[in-house]
Amino acid sequence: MNVLIIEDERTLALEIAEFLAKEGYLTEHAWKKASAEEKIFVNNYDFILLDLGLPDGNGFELLKQLRNLPDRDDAVIILTARDAINDRVNGLEEGADDYLPKPFALSELLARMHAITRRKHRLGKNKINLHEFVLDIENRTLSFNDQRIALTNKEFEILYYLTLNKNRVIPRTSLTEHVWGDILEINSDSNFINVHIKNLRKKLLPYSTVEWLETVRSVGYRINL
């Protein structure tokens, strides 16, 4: 999943990025409001971690701009000083999904991200039944009758994102952006997403049929549940 870290404390931002990368997240940075605006207006993110005190502007302005954009569902977690109660309240009223007072444990940040994902996608737990398979979000594994199936990080992310958007056709560009990051850096003519889907099917077929993982010709992919 794709995360934008908007934080001018570079040591903290890099610490968050390193931690989330180990958990399978793809991260981008913005140290200032101006660079954050450029990224937000071009790309969609699963999560935006937003520091309110930026050197060239107020994080509240970014939040308002984001919430005024059509068809956006980026989850926003505000990173704020522990005693800034008004900032927390104002951020939630402006549409933030959660806040985390500094200093914070990275494990708590991850837990809040998991909780937001479950809430947004109406998941009651960290495990999703995917026909005969079980997708474990927290441990990032896929299993069949308790037998673990070896997936690469990208294969897991593809399956996870399609599962979160079950019964919806996800365009190739949208899937690529959420799994690989900045859409401007991606060659739209590349067939690497098709290769990953093909490899994913090949790994699942020895265990069960996978007609539910559907290719919608010239558009994208869909998981039917």
In the chain the domains, ranked by start, together with CATH numbers, are 2-124 (3.40.50.2300), 127-223 (1.10.10.10)
What span, in angstroms and rounded, lies between the C-alpha atoms of 66 and 53? 17
For residue 47, the cross-strand partners are 3, 75
Q: Does the N-terminal peptide bond of residue 103 adopt cis geometry, omega within 30 degrees of 0?
A: yes
Q: 122-131, 146-155, 176-185: lowest mean pLDDT where?
A: 176-185
Alpha-carbon distance of 223 to 158, in angstroms, equals 11
Confidence of residue 120 (pLDDT cuts 50, 70, 90): confident
Strands in 213-216's sheet, in edge-to-edge order, are: 170-171, 220-223, 213-216
User: How much of the chain exceeds pLDDT 70, in percent?
Assistant: 94
- The pTM assigned to this predicted structure is 0.74
How much is the average pLDDT of 113-125? 81
Q: Looking at the predicted structure, is the pLDDT value of residue 184 above 50? A: no
Lowest mean pLDDT segment, chosen from 32-41, 163-172, 190-199, 207-216: 190-199
Token pair in block for residue 52: 């309110």
